[in-house]
Amino acid sequence: MEGLPLYLYYGLFLLLSLHGLHRALLVRRIAAQKLHGPDPEPSPNTEPGTEPMVTVQLPLFNERYVADRLLVAVARFDWPKDRLEIQVLDDSTDDTTRIVARKVHDLRGEGFDVHHIRRPDRHGFKAGALAFGLAGDEHHPPAKGEFVAVFDADFLPEPDFLRRAIPPLVRDPQLAVVQGRWAHLNREHSLLTRVQAVCLDAHFGVEHAARQAAGHFLNFNGTAGVWRRTAIAEAGGWSHDTLTEDLDLSFRSQMTGSRFRYLHDLGVPSELPVEMNAFKSQQYRWVKGAIETAGKLLVPLLRHKGLRLSTRLEGAFHLTNNVAYVLILLVSCLSVPVATLRGTDLDPRVTGWVDLYLISLGILPVAAYFLLGQLRVGRGFWRSVLVLPATLAIGIGLSLNNARAVVSALLGRRSPFVRTPKYRVDTAHDSWIGKDYLASKELWSVLEVALGTWVAVAVIRALSAGNWSMAAYLTLFGSGFLYVGLASLLPAFAERVRAVIVRVTAKVDPRHHNPLT
């Protein structure tokens, strides 16, 4: 029994190596293709005078910093006004509603068919809002569009977006969705935004592209894409029984025989979360929603006789790959007893070879996946390599947050849809400090710091025993947990400092306005 932690530790790493092998397969499929080439079968622009009716849906909830910017971007679309309908699906409870109402009034004066839609309540959250806009009610007509484009509040589509996204849908009646790639307005704002950009670039440039090349299922990413209206209805419509309504509808649609198209060259700028708790909230929702979708659709998917076995297996991995976060968390918890056992009972030369094998299977393929994603969007090789350690570390550091999401989904616990706050932070000089929508769960953040400290103890024990390879990869684990935990505690600390400054300033000069507000 004394060796049980060691057996569990390496068993978990072997399971994690399956995740790495899957990433290696994705990389292998894409690496043989041109990194910067155009999308296959480039689509010509829609001819003037032949444009179909398009409804643009903009679901909003408390987006005072970015709502106006989004409406301005959509109003610049190169599309006839009489063939364009704009629905602002506004569930806000703050002054976002006033900002939107003013802008909608201005756009109507410019001849746009734009509707400011307010529901009686937030039933169904984003999925409910999208479904409400399509169906209409006694106060609002149903959506008019043959095609439906969706943009979240932090996106800034280019004027030619519809000109590039609509033609494939017009040409191919079996095509249900055209998905654009997320680009990044504030990639260089901080280390956190750089890491997020690396992860998203790999998701789109490697995962989407590889799955498309193999004929496997893709997913609509909730924004920066266009749906065929009839495909939504044929798949059963928007559903709010998972936190990832986009993934759920995507799989249901493709299980009916529809096809999706990813356009790598169709980049749509968006704002990355600039504050750790906002990022963690987004990750929690995505991870939990994917596991909820797996619980709903995994068995029907695997039993679907009309799909190739490879497509069913890839879809299963797509829905369940977030279970890896639970494995990473368990490995981290076992790090100290394993480092202790290896320092007393095992030959470092033997365990070093085992470590090298597991690193080669579990870590290097993931690093290659991130690197290829950067090359696919035209980033320099060495610049991309330098950010890889931080990307791997922060990904590991998120495992407590994301493992909680996996467990919550497996236990069937329902959660409200918590949207990711946006702050209109575009440069390194902009700040989220003093702005609304901040949230901090200090207890879990303290546990992340504690876990980082725990792994640091394992690193020290591994170094003292000469287990250099173990110390090397555990340094990624420990630094990741410490960074995520400390960055999560920063908002609460910053707000307390800000409150002190406000009180001191008020005492010195009651007429003086706080410069941080």
Given a contact cutoff of 8 angstroms between Cβ atoms, the answer to whether 266 and 220 are in contact is no
- To which H or E segment does residue 373 belong? helix 364-376
Instruction: Judge whether 137 counts as a catalytic residue.
Output: no
Least Cα distance to 230 among 169, 179, 180 occurs for 169
Could you list the beta-strand ranges (E) of 290-368.
none
Reading the block at residue 98, the tokens are 């006033």
Write down the catalytic residue from 90, 154, 246, 248.
246
Write down the catalytic residue from 91, 152, 248, 355.
91
User: Mind giving me the DSSP string for 59-91?
Assistant: EESS-TTTHHHHHHHHHT-SS-GGGEEEEEEE-
CA distance 312 to 316: 6
Instruction: Judge whether 78 counts as a catalytic residue.
Output: no
Angle at 38 (CA atoms; ends 36, 44), nearest 5 degrees = 160
Amino acid residing at 178: V
Please report, for residues 102, 265, 381, 410, the alpha-carbon distance to residue 376 in angstroms, rounded to integers and kept in the order given.
Answer: 41, 10, 11, 35
Please report, for residues 84, 273, 439, 490, 500, the alpha-carbon distance to residue 493 in angstroms, rounded to integers and kept in the order given.
Answer: 46, 19, 12, 5, 11
Task: State the DSSP code for 188.
Answer: G
Print burial letters for 130-146: b (CB count within 10 Å at least 16), e (below 16): bbbbbeeeeebeebebb
Task: List Cβ<8 Å contacts ≥24 apart for 509-517.
Answer: 516/433, 516/434, 517/434
Least Cα distance to 166 among 38, 258, 59, 263 occurs for 263
CA distance 290 to 292: 5
Least Cα distance to 36 among 372, 387, 384, 385 occurs for 372
Crossing angle, helix 381-397 and helix 191-202, to 10 degrees? Answer: 100
CA distance 331 to 309: 32
Hey, which residues are catalytic here?
A: 91, 246
